[in-house]
Every structure is written in structure tokens, then in C-alpha cells.
Amino acid sequence: MNEMTTTDQTKKSSHTGRIIIIIVMAVAIAAVFAFLIWPKIQQTDKPDPSFVALHSFPEGSPQAEYIEKTALPALERQYSGIDAAALYLDESRIDSEALRMKNEGKAPDVLFLVSEAMAGLAGYGVLEPFDGEDAAAELLAVREEYAGGYTSAGVIEGISYGIPIDVSALVLLYNPDLLPGEQPANLESLWGMLGAPSPGILGAPSAGGGDVVGFILPDAGMKSLAPFVWSSGGELVNEDGTKAYGYLNDAGNAAVFDGFAAAIESGAIVVAGGKDEALEQFAAGAAAMTLADTSDLPAFDRQFPDFKYEAIAFPAGASGSVTVLGCKYVSVSKDARRDVAAAFLLDILSSGAMGADPPSGIPAASLASARPLPMSWSMADMQNEFLLAMKQITDGYKTTRQALDDLAMKWDAYLP
């Protein structure tokens, strides 16, 4: 047998040392995993909460703070065995996520929704009615006490699926630095406002390096254009919201849409890709005016604290100043315990924390004249058809009357 040399012994010791180090490191990694990672994995096995409030209120807002820190803990104290939780989602995802949760048997109990989301979820059978022959007595009592003067809001085919909260209105914002002197006085007239920006500011460089435009709209959808129609004396649908043909496509409305298309062609109006883009461009000094919902202004002010602007009622047309009533609604899932849901609603609605009053500084006339958009199970489809019709008009693909005739017929298929 060959004797092991000193060099061989050294190599063996070194190899053994490396093995020991590897083992020690593996044990350490396992310990770290057990201490830091494993508890988080086990948290996924925690039973789902038995009461979920789904909302889109920003973190730190009075609404979110009250729901999460006051209302839900109070509900847990009131009902033994209730494990209550709030789930925040971006407004654009709430309806699809609520439907997914419903299909998985985990529907949220109470939902805070904008009109389109509420109408869609009601159409899919997710929401419990607040009135009608199938309404629970507890929920009917809540609506009768807290619907206030907005009893037509949240109603589809005569049935209420949401109690309006965070009532708001679409208003005109303008930048006084871009409308100097007497120019803001022109904003009192519906069509005068489109000529309000002086020729000197159109085409001038903005703070962002682009051109300054007169009026930037969030989009060419029905919410943005409804005030132009209503203030000019037109209607989108008949009084009970069941028919568009003969109303949306009448001659007066055609003239309004012609004027709107001409304003886009001349550059007096620029259409943005949504409300966020419109407000950002407005705050950057790239536009003299825009439309905004009063419910969006607190977040806008927080995002751009140094930007100075004026908010006024929508300019008056032949029928005065008539704008869009915006609401968030609180709705109840059909899978919720009605007594628990009713107790939660009574708490939040009586608290004054849900933002029922418009932000300070907003003209009261805006709310006094505001009207809700036509309600339907298919509000999203109605909006898409409206956007398509506007594109056909502005691109010259169809005449205004042809596009409005087709749009009205399509809307009739969606209306109650």
C-alpha cells in the first residue's frame, strides 16, 4: 500500500474543509428560508376573510382610512366570527376582478363602483337589488334613508343596484396664465369658449416643449360630449331612458357634433387618450382648458400641488349649463350576508367620510344642473359604440347624420 504523501493529505483536508463549508452554508440558507420565507408561504394558507369590501379609493384617502381603520374593525366587534378585510384595486380593474372572484366562489361582499362597473356587474347577476320585490328589507331601509336627492342614480330598468356616494360633477378647468385679461369671460358661452384661447397662445411652446392647445378633452366618449349636447338643448335618450333613436340622432344634435368635429379639425379641441393624460397635459401648461370630474380633483391637487388653475361650471348653451352627474356607488353582492352588509353600509353612510359633498371651491351650480348618463346593463358597449361613431365623424368616414343614425339604432339594442 502506498503511503499518503503530505501533499495528498493537504488536498484531502482542503476538500473536506470545502464540504464542511458547503454544508454549513446550506444549513444557514435553510435557516434563513425557515425564518423569513416559510411564514409568508404559510400566510397563503390563512382562511379567506369572511367579509370583503372591494374599493378603489387611493391609499391615505379619507374613504380608505375610514373603511380600513374604523368601519371594518367595528364590524368585527359587532359580529363574532367575522374576519373583515378591504381589497384595493384600480378603478379600471374592479368589475373584471369582482366577476372573477364571483366565479371562484369568493365574491366580495360590498363593492364601491363607478356607473359602468355597477351596471355591468348588475347585468351579470353579481349585485343584490336595493329595492323591488326581491329586495331584502335591511337593504331597502338603507337606500330609503341614504339615497338622498339622487334617487334616479344607480337605477337600471326601475331597480336600484347602488347607493350614490362621492357625488361629483364634470366641470371646466382653465389655466389663468394661458387665458389672460378678459378671455375667461368668453367661457360663459358654450361655443364662445372654443374661441377663447387667443391666436397668440396656439402653437406657442409649452413647458413640456410641445405646442399649447386651447382645449384638451379626456376622450371623445359620451361623458365628455354629453354636456355639449344637453347644454345645447339636445338629448341622448328619451325621458325614461329606453330609446335613443329620434333623440340622439336629431338635427339639433347633428349640428352640435358637426361643431365639435370642426373644433377638432381646427385644433381648438384636442382629444387625449384618457383623463390622466388630459390632466397631466393641462398641468404641464400644454392646454389652456380641460374637463374634469370633481372627484378627481383632490388627487390632481396632490399630484401637482404648485399648479394654479380655476374650476368653473360647464359653459352655458341654449339650455343653460347642464353637465354630467358623476357618482361612485356602494353596492352589495348577492353572496353577502344581508344583515352584515347592511350594518356596514349604515356605518359608512352615516359617517360623512365617503365624500358625498363636492370638493370646496367647486361651483354649486355644477351639481344643481348635473344629470346622470343613460344607464344600461351594457354601458361599456354603449361607450365603445359612441367612440366609434365619433371617430367615423371626425375621420370623415361617415356623415354626421349617418353615424348618429347608426349609433342610435345600436344604442336601442342596449337600452332597457
**Do 224 and 313 have their domain in common?**
yes
How sure is the predictor about 247, in pLDDT bands with cuts at 50, 70 and 90?
very high
Overall number of domains in the chain: 2
Q: The domain that contains 176 carries what CATH number?
A: 3.40.190.10
**Do 90 and 115 have their domain in common?**
yes
| Residue 73 pLDDT greater than 70, yes or no | yes
**Do 133 and 183 have their domain in common?**
no
| 279 vs 50, higher pLDDT | 279
Residue 337 lies in a domain: yes
Under a CB-based contact definition with an 8 Å cutoff, are residues 138 and 339 in contact? yes
**Do 247 and 219 have their domain in common?**
yes
Residue 13 lies in a domain: no
Under a CB-based contact definition with an 8 Å cutoff, are residues 163 and 142 in contact? yes
pLDDT in the model for residue 180: 65
**Do 321 and 332 have their domain in common?**
no
**Domain, as residue range, for 400:** 169-325+370-414
Q: Among 23-27, 217-221, 320-324, which range has the highest average pLDDT?
A: 217-221
Torsional class of 181: left (φ above 0), alpha (ψ -120 to 50), beta (otherwise)? left
**Do 305 and 189 have their domain in common?**
yes
Cα atoms found within 13 Å of the Cα of residue 315, Cβ hemisphere only = 21
**Do 210 and 291 have their domain in common?**
yes
pLDDT tens for residues 324-361? 888 788 999 999 998 999 999 999 888 888 764 554 45
Separation of alpha carbons 177 and 291, rounded Å: 17
| Residue 83 pLDDT greater than 70, yes or no | yes
19 DSSP assignment: H
pLDDT in the model for residue 38: 35
Share of residues in the chain with pLDDT > 70 (%)? 76
pLDDT in the model for residue 366: 62
Residue 5 lies in a domain: no
Q: How many other C-beta atoms lie within 10 A of the C-beta of residue 337?
A: 17
Burial per residue of 176-197, b for 16 or more beta-carbon CB atoms within 10 angstroms, e otherwise: eebbeeebbebbeebbebbebb
Residue 336 lies in a domain: yes
Alpha helices in 194-274 (DSSP H): 222-231, 251-266
CA distances for 376 relative to 134, 148, 153, angstroms = 20, 22, 12
**Do 267 and 119 have their domain in common?**
no
